[in-house]
Amino acid sequence: MAKRSLSSLSAADLRNKRVLVRVDFNVPLDDGGEITDDTRIRAALPTINDLMSKDAKVILSAHFGRPKGKINEEMRLTAVSSRLSQLLGKTVVKTDSCIGEDAEIKVAAMDSGEVILLENVRFFEEEEKNEETFAKKLADLADIYVNDAFGAAHRAHASTAGVTKHLNPCVAGYLMEKELKYLQGAINEPKRPLAAIVGGSKVSSKIGVLEALIDKCDKVLIGGGMIFTFYKSRGLAVGNSLVEEDKLELAKELEAKAKNKGVELLLPTDVVLADEFSANANIQIASIESIPDGWMGLDIGPDSITVFQKSLSNCQTVIWNGPMGVFEFDKFATGTNSIATTLANLSDKGCCTIIGGGDSVAAVEKAGLAEKMSHISTGGGASLELLEGKVLPGVAALDES
């Protein structure tokens, strides 16, 4: 069912109201505690700015890292409140705790149009347990709930699900709405041909999404370390490449399923090999039928790139999740960068290109092509679960439109 959006609430609905907004500010920090990528903070700005312009009192709730229910000084949201203040051009006050006296006093002192950031909700173990009393205390700070944290929507936590029992209305923010529109739309009502490119090191982490995509797509292209499990299941030698021995039968089943459904399932035809797992390794290119002993595959080869580009050339919708190789090492980034460039060119021709979270996003950003894509998802696990057709608790808890 479609979910009610923030766009359904007028200025009159929001004026002077306390609005609890769950955001995903789980951003990377360097050793000095500085934010190295503020994409997730910027992604929440349309929702925050809209609420401010409608004179709401904006109370932001977020998690950071995995403090495991205890206060961890290195996981406070201090750097986030500072960066958000810069982006909004006004001071964002941070509370010392997400519930309790300090939060209550600071919220009570808010003027319309002001923004407060509650301290890391995961400092309380009750958050991840979706404990009723804790959820009620969070909800008591507000009148209305907005969930804009797609990256945490696959978790049934107090701040993503539990609070919705105590607040009304409960709506999707603009980022959440956009994520659902693109990801659900791509799977349920795609412009065809629909292709999925699935990469990453292990078949085991992508089983559900591969099975679902074979059901929905016209083409499925597979790259990354998981290809060697497929090759070994075919009886090919893979040298020292990564293989999941307990997934060989599954790989055979996935290939058979695609064949039975008439889905074009493409694996690379050649690979870039290394003599060790290192940025400075010696390399050679080999066809998948002639991988020598003692070498490991760390990227797809030039022929594979050409084959993949040809297969994608007529597609109207493409979903990409997972790199083609060890793109963190420049010698093994060519496959991933080539796919990124191919999708950017397809976008220019009207193809809907969706980058489904995780390392693919980092790869596209690194290649400087993020602006070219139709949609870049902010959720890793949430994107995968949505593509698998699973119900996300944080979405299910929102009002229906």
Residues contacting 300, CB < 8 A, separation 6+: 223, 227, 268, 270, 271, 272, 308, 324, 325, 335
CA–CA distances in Å: residue 296 to residues 59, 138, 299, 323: 50, 51, 9, 17
Place of tokens 């010698």: 331
Give 52-101 as a DSSP string.
HHTT-EEEEE---S--TTS--GGG-SHHHHHHHHHHHTS--EE-SSSSSH
Which of 17, 18, 40, 122 is an active site residue? Answer: 40
Tell me if residue 76 is catalytic: no
- Tell me how far apart the alpha carbons of residues 158 and 141 are, in angstroms, rounded to a whole number: 14
> Measured between alpha carbons, how far is 236 from 65 in angstroms, rounded to an integer?
41
- Nearest residue to 202 (alpha-carbon basis) of 220, 234, 221, 229: 229
Which residue is associated with the tokens 């950031």? Answer: 117
The DSSP bridge pattern shows strands 270-274 and 283-287 to be: antiparallel
Rounded CA gap, 302 and 271, in Å? 8
381 as an active site residue: the answer is yes
Active-site residue, from 173, 325, 358, 394: 358
Asked whether the beta carbons of 372 and 344 are under 8 A apart, the reply is yes
Q: Which string of DSSP letters, residue by residue, matches 346-368?
A: HHHTT-EEEE-STHHHHHHHHTT
Angle between helices 302-312 and 334-348 (to 10 degrees): 20
Known active-site residue 380: no
Question: Residue 244 has which token pair?
Answer: 């999941």
Contact 16, 112 (CB under 8 A): yes
Tell me which of 129, 202, 234, 257 is the catalytic residue: 202
Query: Which helix (H) or strand (E) is 229 found in, with range?
Result: helix 227-233
> Of residues 113, 185, 208, 381, which has the active-site annotation?
381
Residues in contact with 363: Cβ distance below 8 Å, sequence separation at least 6, in sequence order = 323, 327, 333, 336, 337, 340
Q: Strands 115-117 and 352-355: what pairing?
A: unpaired
Could you list the active site residues?
Answer: 40, 202, 358, 381
